A and B are shown apart, each in its own frame.
Chain A
Amino acid sequence: MTHERKSSILMSDAPVVRDGEAILHEARAPMARRVSEPSRRAFLTRTLSLGGVALLSGCSLDDNASVESALTRISRWNDRVQAALFRKSVLAPTFPASAITRPFPFNAFYTMDEAPVVDEAEYRLELSGLIADKAPWRLDALRDFAAPRAAEQITRHVCVEGWSAIGRWGGVTFADFLRRIGADTSAKYVGFKCADDYYTSIDMPTALHPQTLLALTYDGQTLPRKYGFPMKLRIPTKLGYKNPKHIRAIYVTNTYSGGYWEDQGYNWFGGS
């Protein structure tokens, strides 16, 4: 909010008069001045809109383009702060099986019966970008790769809305997979495209975090459709919307590519 200048617009410095017409003239003067000076009117309007916030309305600020771009810039600054706060050595808390939330909530931007149906035989995981071995992966090849390196965790999924739930995900450490395909781990971003048209991207340090899983199972079972069949990325150091489900393509890049919710205003880093 910028105030162009301070002014005492409503003050009249006219001397006291008793004549009727003069009184009328005096009364009109401040009004005439207000109308004839658009910058003062602008200041008044702005002051009033600021007062609007104080009066708990706030509406005038929501759809203001400059406010929006300022908020986006601060959100990018928050990305940088969170990246600086992030420590690969800091692990998310893990829980005993008894703490698992049952049933684990379904959460998406669509209803459960709208979740994509992925055909196991047809499925190919596509790889692109800064990756040495871009050959697509069949689901059984992924399972064969994961089996000897099996990793499983019971962690808390924290939703940006404020609720949280504890679940049990199994698969392979994403860092293992990135190394296997020869991903350039000095690149900035890893992006995901999903069968439900969802997309997101994460920072490389988070992708390499020891708890970031390429999850193929939920609670010991093949990952069910409602939780992201055939696979999801499970990142316990990030908010829920940074955990893409039904992944069909992975790319490594140095170009920022945002995400489904991120492009609408959610913070990109989304760390926890």
Chain B
Amino acid sequence: MTKSVPPAAQPPVRPATVQPWWLRVTHWLNVLAVVAMVMSGWRIYNASPIFPFRFPNEITLGGWLGGALQWHFAAMWLLVANGLIYLTTNAASGRFSRRFFPLTPRGVVRDLFAALRGRLTHDDPRHYNQVQRAAYLFAVLDLVLLVASGLAVWKPVQLGWLCTLFGGFQGARLVHFIAMAGLVGFVVVHVAMVALVPRTLRTMITGR
């Protein structure tokens, strides 16, 4: 990874903003929405499991099916509204193309190997390496898939075309579950990486 080094004799300036305020706000609102959706979703799943296991009730939200549904259908408004603000601001400001592209499979593999050998530097937090780009893009697209399959499960008649796209009601349910598992997998890795590079947590709170 090559990048320009700032001239040595620059006058002291305030450290540049790594994450703009709107990104930090939407990120943390997204955390709230996703945590509420996933935990209540597990409770809803438990009412009629697709696979031969249930989630322990202690890690679910809502107390019972009706309560979990209330949480799920309340948090969904936050998730969607916040997600739309994130997507439009990100695209309109040019941040999206600046931060996430170019992105190539070859680049992802190269950076992944570099990371595994401990040779990936973190000296400019404004620059995402290709593994980060791929991971964050995955999270964004996976959330879009979660919302779309969720809409299909919610309205299999009124949004019948969407439901058909997922292979019918049970198909949409399965896609919704798999997309949830993908997002939870992302969160696990994401939180582990934050634990390895704690500075990024401060960046996501203060912006610097």
Please tell me if the beta carbons of B67 and A265 are within 8 angstroms of each other in the complex: yes
Contact partners of B63 in chain A: CB under 8 A: 62-63
8 Å CB interface, B11-37 against A: 31-32, 35-36
CB distance from B21 to the nearest CB of A (A): 16
Q: Known contacts A54-B35, A237-B157: does B48 contact A71 (CB below 8 Å)?
A: no
- Closest partner residue, chain A, to B70 (CB atom): A71
Q: Known contacts A54-B35, A159-B48, A267-B69: does B155 contact A71 (CB below 8 Å)?
A: no
Q: Known contacts A53-B61, A90-B160, A272-B155: does B66 contact A74 (CB below 8 Å)?
A: no
Please tell me if the beta carbons of A236 and B65 are within 8 angstroms of each other in the complex: no
Please tell me if the beta carbons of A58 and B39 are within 8 angstroms of each other in the complex: yes
Contact partners of B136 in chain A: CB under 8 A: none
B35-74 CB mask vs A (1 if < 8 Å, else 0) is 1100100001101101000000011111111110111011
Q: Known contacts A87-B158, A265-B69: does B169 contact A158 (CB below 8 Å)?
A: yes
Contact partners of B157 in chain A: CB under 8 A: 90-93, 236-237, 271-272
A-B contact pairs, 7 of them (CB 8 A): A56-B58, A58-B61, A62-B61, A75-B73, A78-B73, A158-B156, A237-B157
Please tell me if the beta carbons of A261 and B61 are within 8 angstroms of each other in the complex: no
Q: Which positions in A face B, CB cutoff 8 Å?
A: 53-54, 56-58, 61-63, 70-72, 74-75, 78, 85-87, 90-93, 156, 158-164, 236-237, 261, 264-267, 271-272
Please, how many angstroms separate the alpha-carbon atoms of A166 and B13 in the complex? 68
Q: Indicate if B113 sits at the interface (CB-CB under 8 A).
A: no
Please tell me if the beta carbons of B66 and A265 are within 8 angstroms of each other in the complex: yes
- Among B39, B44, B60, B74, max chain A CB count under 10 A is at B74
Please tell me if the beta carbons of B35 and A271 are within 8 angstroms of each other in the complex: no
Q: Which positions in B face A, CB cutoff 8 Å?
A: 31-32, 35-36, 39, 44-45, 47-48, 50, 58-67, 69-71, 73-74, 77, 153-158, 160, 169-170, 173
Please tell me if the beta carbons of B35 and A162 are within 8 angstroms of each other in the complex: no
| Chain A to chain B: the 6 pairs with minimum beta-carbon distance, closest first | A265-B66, A161-B47, A162-B48, A161-B48, A62-B63, A71-B70
Q: Known contacts A159-B48, A163-B48, A164-B169: does B73 contact A74 (CB below 8 Å)?
A: yes
Please, how many angstroms separate the alpha-carbon atoms of A54 and B158 in the complex? 34
Please, how many angstroms separate the alpha-carbon atoms of A139 and B127 in the complex? 74
Determine which of A70, A92, A267 lies in contact with B73 in the assembled complex, contact meaning CB atoms within 8 Å: A267
CB distance from A206 to the nearest CB of B (A): 11
Please tell me if the beta carbons of B70 and A86 are within 8 angstroms of each other in the complex: no
Contact partners of B31 in chain A: CB under 8 A: 54
Contact partners of A272 in chain B: CB under 8 A: 154-158
Please tell me if the beta carbons of A266 and B69 are within 8 angstroms of each other in the complex: yes
- Closest partner residue, chain B, to A155 (CB atom): B157
Please tell me if the beta carbons of B170 and A271 are within 8 angstroms of each other in the complex: no
Contact partners of B70 in chain A: CB under 8 A: 71-72, 74-75, 265, 267
- Among B59, B61, B66, B71, max chain A CB count under 10 A is at B66
- Among B36, B58, B154, B158, max chain A CB count under 10 A is at B158
